[in-house]
Amino acid sequence: MTLLINPTTTNTTTTTHGRHPHKAWWKSAAVYQIYPSSFADTNGDGIGDLPGIIAKLDYLHKLNVDVVWLSPIYRSPQKDMGYDISDYRDVDPRYGKMRDLDALLEGLHNRGMRLVMDLVVNHTSDEHPWFQESKQDLTNPKADWYIWRPPRYISGVRCAPNNWESVFSGPAWTYVPARGQYYLHLFLPGQPDLNWEVPAVREAVYDVMRFWLDKGVDGFRMDVINLISKVQSFPDAPGEGLQSGMDYCANGPRLHEFLREMRRCAVEGYDVLTVGEMPCVTDEWEVLKAVGRERGELDMVFQFDIVSVDWGSGSKFEHRQFQPKVLAEVVNRWQTFMIENDGWNTLFDENHDQPRTVSRFVDRKYTDSDYETRAKVAKLLATFLVCQSGTVYVYQGQELGMRNCPKEWPIAEYKDIETINYWNKVLEERGGGDADMSDVMAQIQLKARDNGRTPMQWNDTAHGGFTTGTPWMRVNDDYTCWNAALQTDDPNSAYSYWARMLTFRREFCDIVVYGGFEMLTGGEGGVIAYRRKGYVGGSEKTAAIVVVLNFEPRSVGWKLEEGRFAKKVVPDVLLGTYGTTVFVEQGMLILRPFEAVVLDACV
């Protein structure tokens, strides 16, 4: 027989497991990432802008966001959506003026919120004055500010200094006749890499950072920061043809020296957040070198184990089926390691470079057209993320459960240079013309960065209320029935659940943010369950919660004894995606499709 339980939510506030860790405002903060081009447009040019962000601050405040992180808004030719910066000290006119940024800062600070800016200093735009000077000749004062190398000649033919491939395909070197040399660009030719070996370069970067901190900015997200130190011999990578050079660039020989110097010269004395993006690194000890509390480098980093759980062996466009067991293994490894070694995690599964999780971490056939199921999945994933130890990052639209681009969209609707280059590369390999590209399209529909860049869906008016003009990128076709206006006042919506989760995180900060972590069920049968335990309010009293997540589209059972709930028939439900009503049968918690529950546990 099934028992129907309607427990009363408890209000116990709890803290960490085994010790009282160092606390900081950025550890308990919820950070909301805004991709400015796609957030809100006020002047009708089809591109989001700073006044649009200002107009939505109350929306973010109601969501219980503490920090807003802006993807780049600096002057840029936009070859890589602003990650190619031509002026670090000015706002790109497409987004507004410096006074708009000042107004945004004031609006956030007045609401008790903070602003984090993107810092892109592995490379600049090729239109930046520094590069324009550097490329002139070998005698220019900035001649060594970028990474230049002479050509090599093979059978009398001029060739690049090595066989490295750009992240966006093609050679990672471009020849400049005026210098008779090649410059390195790990990304686009329009994104030349700065030479961090030169002290004047580093000081110029630190001066930029101090400029923004003195304006009141509350920290930086540092783009591909672990690529700033390269192996100076620039050897060929093993293999025929073009090969990735990341083994010689990611976490290079002087990285930690540079990061310590950056904190000492640019950040010390400011109470700010520093988070570095660190691709191509999976070793926990290597990451700890950057985020260990006594290291004096970064507060935390983005590493990509979670967002690559469904990557194949070759690249992200080679898909492998998502498995909860693989996800649980990644979570258990990083949660346990950072807690035991006094490091700090970032908690994220979406950003401007990632597809939407409701279309990715479950089969999208369940979420594309069944809106009730999509809301359940969005809530499940919110519970999964927010209840871990680390700083939470929410990407715009994630709080609504926005989905990937519709399958019906042709390749012409995709705008990202990475997507376009990949498509063209494979098309050329297949002979062009009418080659069958259906398998490539299927991977793009799953993994392309474009999936996270469709404009925000504010309401059911034209273009989802994002703009009165023609949007720079098409708005997802489901905006008429899936938008913020429908969700903000609906207590059962994904948005309202995210708001409750972030409130819960504040109220249970000592255990959810600072508590210990124990994996109870590692994805078996589609269930992930973990236990968090910590001290109460700085005392020696402890309390615990158990988080149980069903990633299956069907009901499954989970043994309550796994959670150690003493003799209770069922523990109190603190939060649940189906409300606080749960089903129990013969010692089993019966989890409904895509259900998540947070349970009050015994210590």
538 class by beta-carbon count within 10 Å (0-12 exposed, 13-18 middle, 19+ buried): exposed
Q: How far is CA 366 from CA 192, 349, 361, 375, in A?
A: 43, 19, 11, 11
d(CA 471, CA 463): 7
pLDDT surpasses 90 at 437: yes
Range of lowest pLDDT (122-131, 307-316, 519-528): 307-316
How many contiguous H segments (helices) and E segments (strands) does the chain have?
15, 26
Contact 451, 413 (CB under 8 A): no
d(CA 72, CA 119): 8
- 358-407 tens-digit pLDDT: 999 999 999 998 999 999 999 999 999 999 999 999 999 999 999 999 99
pLDDT surpasses 80 at 11: no
Q: Is 204 helix (H, G, I), strand (E, B) or coil?
A: helix
| SS3 track for 430-484 | CCCCCCCCHHHHHHHHHHCHHHHCCCCCCCCCHHHHCCCCCCCCCCCHHHHCCCH
* 569: DSSP letter: S
Extended strands (E) in 310-412: 346-347, 391-395
Which CATH number is associated with domain 27-124+199-237+245-407+451-497?
3.20.20.80
d(CA 63, CA 509): 17
Quick one: pLDDT at residue 174?
A: 98
Average per-residue pLDDT for the chain: 93
pLDDT-derived band at 142, boundaries 50, 70, 90: very high
Residue appearing with tokens 């802008």: 49
Q: Is 311 helix (H, G, I), strand (E, B) or coil?
A: strand
Quick one: pLDDT at residue 314?
A: 67
Contact 39, 53 (CB under 8 A): yes
d(CA 196, CA 88): 17
d(CA 219, CA 236): 37
CATH architecture of 129-184: Alpha-Beta Complex (3.90)
d(CA 408, CA 410): 6
| Distance from chain centroid for Cα 52 | 22
Spatial strand order in the sheet of 181-184: 148-149, 181-184, 173-176
Task: Name the segment(s) of the chain with CATH classification 3.90.400.10.
Answer: 129-184
Average pLDDT over residues 284-299: 95
Quick one: pLDDT at residue 128?
A: 98
pTM for this entry: 0.94
Q: Supply φ then ψ for residue 568, to 5 degrees.
A: -65, 140
pLDDT-derived band at 539, boundaries 50, 70, 90: confident
Task: Name the segment(s) of the chain with CATH classification 3.20.20.80.
Answer: 27-124+199-237+245-407+451-497
Task: Name the segment(s) of the chain with CATH classification 2.60.40.1180.
Answer: 515-600
Catalytic positions, written as ranges = 223, 277
Quick one: pLDDT at residue 3?
A: 35
- 502-523 tens-digit pLDDT: 999 999 999 999 999 999 999 9
The structure tokens listed for 134 are 């550097």
pLDDT-derived band at 438, boundaries 50, 70, 90: very high
The structure tokens listed for 17 are 């497991």
Residue appearing with tokens 């972590």: 517
pLDDT surpasses 90 at 232: yes
Residue appearing with tokens 């988070």: 275
- Percent of the residues in the chain that have a pLDDT greater than 90, as a whole number: 89
Range of lowest pLDDT (149-163, 235-249, 277-291, 304-318): 304-318
Range of lowest pLDDT (121-130, 194-203, 215-224, 309-318): 309-318
- 324-342 tens-digit pLDDT: 999 999 999 999 999 999 9
d(CA 208, CA 205): 5
Quick one: pLDDT at residue 537?
A: 74
The structure tokens listed for 472 are 């720079």
Residue appearing with tokens 């000015």: 90
Half-sphere exposure of 312 (CA within 13 A, CB side): 9
Quick one: pLDDT at residue 9?
A: 33
pLDDT surpasses 60 at 101: yes
Extended strands (E) in 227-329: 243-244, 273-277, 300-302
User: What are all long-range contacts of 103-106, with beta carbons under 8 Å and residues at least 24 apart?
Assistant: 103/50, 103/54, 104/50, 104/53, 104/54, 105/215, 105/216, 105/217
Quick one: pLDDT at residue 1?
A: 31
Average pLDDT over residues 55-65: 98
| Distance from chain centroid for Cα 448 | 14
Q: How far is CA 584 from CA 522, 545, 550, 571, in A?
A: 21, 18, 15, 11
Q: Which of 305, 518, 487, 501 is nearest to 384 (CA)?
A: 501
pLDDT-derived band at 588, boundaries 50, 70, 90: very high
In terms of CATH, what superfamily is 515-600? Golgi alpha-mannosidase II (2.60.40.1180)
The structure tokens listed for 600 are 């009050």
pLDDT surpasses 50 at 16: no
Quick one: pLDDT at residue 20?
A: 53
